[in-house]
Amino acid sequence: EDQVTQSPEALRLQEGESSSLNCSYTVSGLRGLFWYRQDPGKGPEFLFTLYSAGEEKEKERLKATLTKKESFLHITAPKPEDSATYLCAVQAGFNKFYFGSGTKLNVKP
Amino acid sequence: DVKVTQSSRYLVKRTGEKVFLECVQDMDHENMFWYRQDPGLGLRLIYFSYDVKMKEKGDIPEGYSVSREKKERFSLILESASTNQTSMYLCASSLYSTGTLYNSPLHFGNGTRLTVT
């Protein structure tokens, strides 16, 4: 069964405490893996696309990596404004996306 | 930047009413989507459209219909609203390359929080 699993469900960090979020997938025919940030009451905001194992993308304090079975979103020295829910999605076919249920990140000052 | 605009941020409707949710995108994307997002259930696809007047059912189409009369506009219709349709509704758009078989990332609107009483 095609599915995307994110862990942990929730993560509390102190400001400056680096960590990683995980997105594992069992999807045949991966076409792309996408990371999104979602603030409360808003739509998901696109962060990164990864297409092949070994690929990495960076943006400010965030770095996304991809292997054949999972992706990690590394957060280096997070700040309170990084608090949000981070969603992972996988494209497996024509207009076919599978979403994880997200990791809710809370960064305390 | 892609902009996807949903006409209402909040809506309150009564059971049995016909409800229209409107979405407009400004990037000439062929593909548009309607999802609903509920706590513990994540994002679930209701319908998508890959061209004007073309539509396909997603995972939870029951109780919903859609309309795509113009490329930039995709409407979600609740024929007779029920309380179990209280949810956050998200519209998204994407390009699809027939050459590479890849979609571009989904770009989402800010959502419509619908409450049915």
B32 near A CB under 8 A: no
DSSP B117: -
* CA B57/CA B80 separation, integer angstroms: 18
**Interatomic CA distance for residues A32 and A89, integer angstroms:** 8
pLDDT band at B2 (very low <50, low <70, confident <90, very high): low
Q: What is the mean pLDDT of chain B?
A: 93
Residue B76 has pLDDT above 80, yes or no: yes
Is A94 at the interface with chain B, CB within 8 A? yes
| B47 close contact with A: CB closer than 8 A | no
Does the pLDDT value for residue B43 go beyond 70?
yes
Predicted pLDDT of residue B99: 66
Q: Is B7 left (phi over 0), alpha (psi -120 to 50) or beta?
A: alpha
- For residues B91 and B108, is the Cβ–Cβ distance under 8 A? yes
B27 at interface of A, judged by CB pairs closer than 8 A: no
Interchain proximity B106–A89, CB inside 8 Å = yes
User: Given CB atoms, is A59 within the 8 Å cutoff of chain B?
Assistant: no
Q: Is A1 in CB contact (< 8 Å) with chain B?
A: no
Asked if B103's CB is within 8 angstroms of A91's CB, the reply is yes
Maximum separation of any 2 CA atoms in chain A, in Å: 43
Q: What is the pLDDT of residue B96?
A: 79
**Regions of chain A short of the pLDDT cut 70:** none
Question: In angstroms, how far apart are the furthest CA atoms of chain B?
Answer: 47
Interface test with B, best of A95, A98, A103 (most B CBs within 10 A): A95
Of chain B, the percentage scoring pLDDT greater than 70 comes to: 94
Is the pLDDT score of B103 beyond 80? no
**Closest chain A residue by Cα to residue B100:** A31
Provide the residue type at A7 as one letter: S
> A46 and B103: CB-CB below 8 Å?
no
Question: What's the pLDDT tens digit per position in B58-69?
Answer: 999 999 999 999
